[in-house]
Chains A and B, each alone.
Chain A
Amino acid sequence: MAQSDSAGGLPAAPAPLATARRHAVLAVALAAAAAAGLLMSDPYAIYLARLCLINIIVVYALNITLGYAGQASISIAAVFAVGAYGSAVATMQYGVPFVLAWPVASLLAGLFGVLAALPTLRLAGAYLAMVSIAFNVVAEQIFIHGGTTTGGPIGLPAIPPIEIAGFSLTDSQALAVIAACSVLAIYCVASFRDSQWGRAAVALRESELAAASLGINTVRLKIALFFASSVMAGLAGGLYAHSVAYISPDIGAILASFVFVLMLILGGAGTLWGPLIGAGLLTLVPHLLSELQKYHLLILGIILLLAVTRMPKGLARPGALLRRRKLSPVQEKQRPAAQTGAVESVLLSPAPGAGSLSAQGISKAFGGVRALSDVSVEITPGMIRGIIGPNGSGKSTLVNVLTGYYTPDAGRVMVGTRDITARPTAEIAQAGIVRTFQTPRLFADLSVQENLMVGGFSRRPGSLAGALLGTAESSAISALAAANAAMLAAAFGLHDALHQKAGDLSQGNQRLLEIARALSASPTILLLDEPAAGLSHEESINLCTVLERLRAGGLGILLIEHHMDVVMRVCDRITVLNRGTLLAEGTPREIRDNAAVQEAYLGSKAAS
């Protein structure tokens, strides 16, 4: 019985109520923030508060790409400056009213941010960071040499204040607007994290390979996230320009980017309140420690150095520097997964047009090593095929070719009648072909439930705008995914660990979760890379039962395994590889009795 995902199957009551409640809380917070802003009168307090709140917005924007998505692109100040300059120039030189100039400049900042996102499609880690530094420096130069438009190195003075419906806002009123905007920024990022988009972003950070294997189009995801983040930063820039009344190229300098990054990591990248803490502290502390502007940078530099050298794993794991993450004791039991009917029922509706997976004449060489030579294999729904062979025989290479991680030198891979040779992994996964990895690549920082929700993202992502605004539709999508995830977890005996971080699970449970997660992406053909490795005898029997039930539900399975008892028990047909070539193909009995196979792999006296 396939799971229905039509609207009629939704749990009706909770979602709209939760959404309404959230929106009510937001409205109250907005009103409170605005009131607080209006009540301030001391100019220095207003100045500090304004700086603080604008920094908060920028750092929340940075949290989307650097914190949650883990993309080491650190040119946030450049897009902030585009928003600032854009709005200032539009109002001062083209007479555009603020209410139009401000959002348009932010959209421009968003597009500029997409430019900054392009390197992320090919690079990661340190190289990406260095490219983004170069990008930021070039951008800064454009502001410095922008002639009369940008005011050159001196910048733009006398920027008009925020003007709404003909009224110029006073400092307090502007502060109220800024305070409301920062509350909104926090709300948006919180909603984002709680949505499928947020889970996909964290999945991207934890393992881009695994995310792609679940059908997530990582290119589109990155571009969308950078666009959203840059629009937010651009909005902050516009607010800054019209409230401070003077901007110079400094605001877009690489140094400014580093300060924002420092604020994020100090407070805790990838956390909900981290940006607030970091931005707040690092804006206020230098001012409190010394009124002398000339010491502020030195203080910031020292704090940055201390922060970075004190973090035990650097920026590898998100988490607050100032607050230790409590490690909860792991308390889960390994439960047999075979619950009657449970496993088949979680097979979600298959991808349209799906069919058999077949590879014909696949050859692949790496330098001088022929990993695969003219290998053909076919898996149809409702069958389990085993792939066995000595180490180095090309089993994993074959799976990598089938799922698009490698391009074969020769041969074709087809799903039904569709040629998917060398298509991107995400596209192949969307066509119904999903794999697991030899070493589990779970999204360690996501809970078990969230790991199982990521698989539904590519089918039903919902809109990013909806995710940011926390619409009812976004909540409904999450609720459905959560319900499916809970069912999957129960079917695999992981229900007790539903809210534990996947990284805290035992080895055996991690492997089960890896399989369950692959199922959450609605595959028609499942490719399992040594799922029984390291399992005890009882666990192996569990696994066999799970596989048999999945087959009964109509799934096709390709099983790479060394555990002969598992292979012989569940497989309908077995393909034997040896040194990249097809050695034999047949039923388990035929393979067991095959002399060549025995000599190459099973041993001359194979136990039956």
Chain B
Amino acid sequence: MNVITILITGLAVGSVYALIALAINIVYSARRVVNFAQGDLVMFAGLLAVALIAGWQVPFLIGLLATMVFVAVLAVAIERIAIRPLPRDESNISWILSIVAVAIITSNAGQLIFGAETRMFPSLFGDTPLVMGDMRFDPNQLLAIGAAAVFVALFHFGLNRTLHGKAMKAAARDADMAMLLGINVGQYIGAGFAIAGMIATLAAFLIGPLTFINANFGFALGIKGFAAAALGGLGTLPGAVVGGLILGLTETFSTTFIGSDFKDIMVLSMLYLILIFRPRGLVGETHVAKV
């Protein structure tokens, strides 16, 4: 196996993790909760897209847009029902149980609606590989890397350089103060979740052709996305990239050289160690609540 091929695969997988981490960080920036259900949203989006595009023969672009709108609305609904009623106190863990409940409901609903079988996702490029010299690339992988880079840059700019982005961050830091300043906190939090829903759809369209879509894979994906976000630094968007890529590369290289049995253990042990020894992640500087 070619090192370059492994590298590209690792970067592609890492890019998808980076996108999931991106969504998690945006939600975290708007309302200090980690969206463990992000992976299930991705899978749900994937299942819906497959049903529309492959099942009902809806044109690709329309299927993409329709899925994006639906999942964005779903995400906003999740925020209203599961997050809004909860207290903001940082030591309180109700939101974890609430989000997990959402994850359970989403994956089981997806299973009941779309079936428990694994689906193949339609690829934009068909099955033809990209040939450069004597190396063959999967164009879906390159698309994943490129798209992730573009979106992270876009949202990093949006969150940190625009007034709306700063308002969103203010809403998370100190909601009461933000409201006194005239910031409609509820709207920004809702927007954060809607964006997470849109990114979930994008991630589904990028990861779909690379692996499979199955209602049960969602939670594991969400945990890995969280690992990427925590590794880079919760709430920081460059952190999503750093974390995602490191995670993707680690996973791919350990699969190749150690065997796929232990890749998950490696990845999750990294998460465990980071949370204990460097909770702010590699890139992050945010204040962390400790005992």
Q: In the complex, A458→B289 CA distance in Å?
A: 27
Tell whether A258 pairs with B272 under 8 Å between CB atoms, given A124-B291, A125-B90.
Answer: no
**Cβ contact of B104, chosen from A135, A145, A301, cutoff 8 A:** A301
A314 contacts B92, CB within 8 Å? Answer: yes
Q: Is A129 an interface residue (CB 8 A)?
A: yes
Q: Is B134 an interface residue (CB 8 A)?
A: no
Q: In the complex, A85→B40 CA distance in Å?
A: 30
- CB-CB under 8 A from A28, the residues of chain B are none
Q: Is A131 an interface residue (CB 8 A)?
A: yes
Q: Is A327 an interface residue (CB 8 A)?
A: no
**Cβ contact of B272, chosen from A72, A135, A300, cutoff 8 A:** A135
Tell whether A130 pairs with B85 under 8 Å between CB atoms, given A123-B290, A305-B102, A314-B94.
Answer: no
- Whole-angstrom distance from the CB of A479 to the nearest CB of chain B? 33
Q: Is A315 an interface residue (CB 8 A)?
A: yes
C-beta contact mask, A147-185 vs B, less than 8 Å → 1, else 0?
Answer: 000000000000000000000000000000000000000
How many inter-chain contacts with C-beta < 8 Å in the A-B complex?
138
Q: Is B101 an interface residue (CB 8 A)?
A: yes
- Whole-angstrom distance from the CB of B240 to the nearest CB of chain A? 17
Q: In the complex, A131→B85 CA distance in Å?
A: 25
Task: Select the stretch in A136-144, A223-231, A332-340, A416-424 that faces chain B.
Answer: A136-144
Q: Is B146 an interface residue (CB 8 A)?
A: no
**Nearest-neighbor residue (CB-CB) of A253 within chain B:** B219
- CB-CB under 8 A from A300, the residues of chain B are 104
Q: In the complex, A443→B141 CA distance in Å?
A: 56
Most buried by B among A138, A262, A313: A138
A145 contacts B262, CB within 8 Å? Answer: yes
**Nearest-neighbor residue (CB-CB) of A135 within chain B:** B272
**Cβ contact of A208, chosen from B104, B226, B291, cutoff 8 A:** B291
- Whole-angstrom distance from the CB of A362 to the nearest CB of chain B? 24
- CB-CB under 8 A from B92, the residues of chain A are 125-126, 313-316
Number of B residues with CB within 8 Å of any CB on chain A? 46
Tell whether A129 pairs with B93 under 8 Å between CB atoms, given A294-B112, A298-B105, A298-B112.
Answer: yes
Q: In the complex, A133→B104 CA distance in Å?
A: 15
Q: In the complex, A74→B99 CA distance in Å?
A: 15
B81 contacts A305, CB within 8 Å? Answer: yes
- CB-CB under 8 A from A294, the residues of chain B are 108, 111-112
**Cβ contact of B223, chosen from A129, A137, A142, A208, cutoff 8 A:** A137
A127 contacts B279, CB within 8 Å? Answer: yes
B276 contacts A123, CB within 8 Å? Answer: yes
Q: Is B73 an interface residue (CB 8 A)?
A: no
**Nearest-neighbor residue (CB-CB) of B104 within chain A:** A301
Q: Is A119 an interface residue (CB 8 A)?
A: yes
Within 8 A of B (CB), among A107-139: 118-119, 121-127, 129-131, 133-135, 137-138
A309 contacts B91, CB within 8 Å? Answer: no
Q: In the complex, A118→B102 CA distance in Å?
A: 29
Q: Is B138 an interface residue (CB 8 A)?
A: no
Q: In the complex, A130→B269 CA distance in Å?
A: 13
Q: Is A304 an interface residue (CB 8 A)?
A: yes
Number of A residues with CB within 8 Å of any CB on chain B? 46
Within 8 A of A (CB), among B111-131: 111-112
**Cβ contact of B290, chosen from A118, A122, A145, A304, cutoff 8 A:** A122
B93 contacts A119, CB within 8 Å? Answer: no
**Nearest-neighbor residue (CB-CB) of A310 within chain B:** B85
- CB-CB under 8 A from B34, the residues of chain A are 126, 130
Q: In the complex, A298→B108 CA distance in Å?
A: 6
**Cβ contact of A122, chosen from B87, B98, B291, cutoff 8 A:** B291
Within 8 A of B (CB), among A290-328: 294-295, 297-298, 300-302, 304-305, 308-311, 313-316
B268 contacts A141, CB within 8 Å? Answer: yes
Q: Is B95 an interface residue (CB 8 A)?
A: yes
B279 contacts A126, CB within 8 Å? Answer: no
Q: Is B61 an interface residue (CB 8 A)?
A: no
Q: In the complex, A74→B262 CA distance in Å?
A: 24
Within 8 A of B (CB), among A246-265: 254-255, 258, 261-262, 265
Beyond A74-B96, A302-B105: 10 further Cβ-contacts under 8 Å? A122-B290, A125-B92, A129-B93, A130-B34, A133-B36, A294-B111, A294-B112, A298-B112, A305-B105, A309-B82
Instruction: In the A-B complex, list the 6 residue pairs whose CB atoms are closest, starting with the nearest.
Output: A314-B94, A301-B104, A125-B91, A305-B101, A304-B101, A301-B105
A-B contacts, 26 of them at CB < 8 A, read: A72-B93, A122-B276, A123-B276, A124-B289, A124-B291, A125-B92, A130-B226, A130-B230, A131-B275, A131-B276, A133-B36, A134-B275, A208-B291, A254-B219, A265-B97, A298-B112, A301-B104, A304-B98, A304-B100, A305-B81, A305-B82, A308-B82, A308-B86, A309-B82, A311-B94, A314-B92
